[in-house]
Amino acid sequence: TYVVLKVQNLKSTTIDGWGSEPCWEQDFMFEICADEKGFIIELWKKGLFWDSILGVLWIPLATVEHATDEGPGSWWTLHSEVIKNGSEIQGTKTPTSHKILLDVYFALPF
């Protein structure tokens, strides 16, 4: 399995994780515009011919805290559907059985 993070026109992918409880422990840092509404996290399962999505999560930037250091993170439930208004993502719905532990924060300057 692997995770894809999408914000604005940027996309980052983790290395492949193995087993029933994969752990990536990867940091991603993005400089984004203040008017951005949120970002998408996708969990994918590698396949022999094609990959399949296990779940998706929309995190609104308005809910993200500011911090100077990493924290313990929070468990987030992944969903199977993306809610859109035209081309703009507004959220996700229909929870799956998959959860992901994320530590999401705005990094404050030192």
Summarize pLDDT for 67-110 with one digit per residue, the tens: 888 889 999 999 999 999 888 888 999 999 999 999 998 887 66
Give 10's pLDDT tier (boundaries 50, 70, 90).
confident
User: How many CB atoms sit inside 10 A of residue 83's CB?
Assistant: 13
Give 30's pLDDT tier (boundaries 50, 70, 90).
confident
Domain boundaries, the chain: 2-107
Contacts of 79 (CB under 8 A, 6+ apart): 55, 56, 57, 92, 93, 94, 95, 96
pLDDT value, residue 29: 81
Superfamily name and number for 2-107: C2 domain (2.60.40.150)
| Cα radius of gyration (the chain) | 14
Whole-number Cα distances in Å, 41 to 31, 49, 79, 90, 110: 17, 23, 10, 13, 27
50, pLDDT greater than 80: yes
Nearest to 107 by CA among 76, 82, 71: 71
Could you tell me the pTM of the whole model? 0.85
pLDDT value, residue 45: 93
Tokens (6 digits) for 23: 């752990």
